[in-house]
Amino acid sequence: MSMFVYYLGLGWRSLRRNPVLTALMVMAIAFGVAASMITWSVFRVVSGNPIPWKSSQLYNVQIDNRGPQYNEPGNEPPDALNYTDAVALMQAHKAPHQTMLYDIAPSVLPQNANDLPSTTTGYATTADFFTMFDVPFKYGSPWTNADDDGHAAVAVISDALNQRLFGGANSVGRDVTLDMHAYRIVGVTEHWDPKPRYYDAYDNMEFANPAQVYISVNRAVDIHVGMAGRNNCGGAPAHFSNDEQWLHRECAWIPFWAELPTQADAERYKEFLTAYSAEQQQAGRFQWAPNVRLRNVTEWLDHEKVVPAESRISLFVSIGFFIICLVNTIGLLLAKFMRRSSEIGVRRALGATRREVYAQFLMEAATVGLAGGVLGLLLTIVGMQGIGLLFEPDVARLAHLDMSLLLTTLIVAVLATVIAAFYPTWRAAQVQPAWQLKSN
């Protein structure tokens, strides 16, 4: 321990001896680590697994309902289902849990008639949505499958909307007016905002503000609650002239998810999807062989290319930048250590072992790394304020400073500097005491 303090003191004194060189190294490490940490703070969120405990059991379903001539390369079917197929799969009930959903953006009337209406975003979906995606509830509970079957006018609202409309009180049993229609509130969710929002990557909502309302899809379709998401007819001519035809046209707009606990379940479900498509082929609706896809959460996020290219490129550039800063540090440490060859010679002649020389110089490098880390921390904090310049607001919001980021910054800075110091230290330890003493 006393040696540790002694080396720390030696390191400190040596750093003060060439302040310019030291400042150079500290700044290089600080800039490198700060750039890496700022871009990492975004990347760790956009590339994260939003539901790690269940991501291999939740599957997105795709069915080719338009034919190979309209498909993406690789005969990739549309990324969402049309209404006909979604309803058929719901009714077949071949998975323990399954859900369909579409984006809605209804207006909400305030409880106080003098206030102005406002907009909300959310989903028309089914009861299983909440159990499948582990939505936490503050008050009440999800609606039931019976509510879905009965086309009930029920709603689940978010904590934020509950705060806005009811001042945070338990609103279960009260009514909420969405697009001029009344819905009975059955539950209020806790703040729930998985990022990326895997279950709605189809609508490019991965990083959107959290949803505020959920209503039963059967009811929504009955009363024509408008679809606010993406509708992809993929170039296939769509003939329709009324609502019923519009609903059943071959356009993709309904993400469909199934919960399949085991690999065997997933295989069985895929067989079912294939059989369903074959049935449709026999019935004459599909003029092509069954073409289905089943992707779990991570595969789905990958397929949807959820990580923005900007995030990846800026992370790579920052890491490249950090590496250059480290190469620079190796060079400067080498210069600094070798300049002290005679000092090393004297120490070795006086009985210091190679190991002690190692310890001393690595300690000195760690001091540089720590100083770089602290400065890098400050730069990271400043840089986080400017992150809005780099990413669109939805993504920029995700970046936040937390303890783990601060600790990582320090640890990465110290560790990287110590690793960079290995070669210069090894060279320093190779100094022959006799030669040094002779030449002076």
Partner 1 sequence: MQIKPILAAMRRHKAGTILIGFQIALTLAIVCNALFIIHERIARVSRPSGVNESNLFVITSDWADNSSNDNIDAQIKADLTALHQLGSVQDATSLNSFPLHGTGWDNFIRMTPDQIHMTTDASVFLADEHTLGTLGVKLIAGRNFTPDEVQSLTIQDMKGWPAIIVSKDLAKVLFPNGDALGKQIYASNNNTPSTIVGITDTLQSHMMDSDDNAFAYNAVLVPMREVGTGYVHYLIRARPGQLEAAMRDVPKALIAQNRMRIFDPDDGEMTFAQVRAKAYERDYGMAILMGIVSAVLLAITAAGIVGLTSFWVGQRRRQIGIRRALGATRNDILSYFMTENMLIGVAGVVVGTLLAIGINLWMVTHYDVARLSGTYLLVGAVVLLLLGQGAVLAPALRASRVPPVEATRSV
By C-beta, is 93 or 339 nearer to partner 1?
339
By C-beta, is 95 or 416 nearer to partner 1?
416
By C-beta, is 119 or 432 nearer to partner 1?
119
Smallest distance, Å, CB 18 to partner 1? Answer: 9
Smallest distance, Å, CB 4 to partner 1? Answer: 28
By C-beta, is 88 or 233 nearer to partner 1?
233
Number of C-beta neighbours around residue 115 at 10 A: 11
HEC readout, the chain: CHHHHHHHHHHHHHHHHCHHHHHHHHHHHHHHHHHHHHHHHHHHHHCCCCCCCCCCCEEEEEECCCCHHHCECCCECCCCECHHHHHHHHHHCCCCEEEECEEECCEECCCCCCCCCEECCEEEECCHHHHHCCCCEEEECCCCHHHHHCCCCEEEECHHHHHHHHCCCCCCCCEEEECCEEEEEEEEECCCCCCCCHHHHHHCCCCCCCCCEEEEHHHHHHCCCCCCCCCECCCCCCCCCCHHHHHHCCCECECEEEECCCHHHHHHHHHHHHHHHHHHHHCCCCCCCCCEEEEEHHHHHHHCCCCCHHHHHHHHHHHHHHHHHHHHHHHHHHHHHHHCHHHHHHHHHCCCCHHHHHHHHHHHHHHHHHHHHHHHHHHHHHHHHCHHHCCCHHHHCCCCCCHHHHHHHHHHHHHHHHHHHHHHHHHHHCCCHHHHHHHC
Smallest distance, Å, CB 129 to partner 1? Answer: 22
Smallest distance, Å, CB 317 to partner 1? Answer: 6
By C-beta, is 105 or 294 nearer to partner 1?
105
By C-beta, is 127 or 251 nearer to partner 1?
251
Smallest distance, Å, CB 240 to partner 1? Answer: 6
CA-CA-CA-CA dihedral for 234, 240, 241, 245, to nearest 10 = -120
Q: By the criterion CB under 8 A, which residues form the site for partner 1?
A: 21, 24, 27-28, 31, 35, 69-70, 105-107, 109, 116-119, 179-180, 226, 228, 231, 233, 235, 237-243, 246, 309-310, 312-314, 317-318, 320-321, 323-325, 327-328, 330-332, 334-336, 338-339, 389-392, 423, 427, 440
Smallest distance, Å, CB 263 to partner 1? Answer: 30
Number of C-beta neighbours around residue 45 at 10 A: 19
φ, ψ for residue 191 (rounded to 5)?
-60, 120
Angle among Cα 271, 95, 291 to the nearest 5 degrees reads 30
By C-beta, is 22 or 360 nearer to partner 1?
22
Smallest distance, Å, CB 310 to partner 1? Answer: 6
By C-beta, is 239 or 355 nearer to partner 1?
239
What tokens does 197 get? 């929002």
Smallest distance, Å, CB 204 to partner 1? Answer: 9
By C-beta, is 2 or 69 nearer to partner 1?
69
Smallest distance, Å, CB 49 to partner 1? Answer: 21
Smallest distance, Å, CB 31 to partner 1? Answer: 5
Q: Are 125 and 155 in contact (CB under 8 A)?
A: no
By C-beta, is 243 or 279 nearer to partner 1?
243
By C-beta, is 54 or 427 nearer to partner 1?
427
Distance CA 433, CA 87 (A): 84
Smallest distance, Å, CB 145 to partner 1? Answer: 28
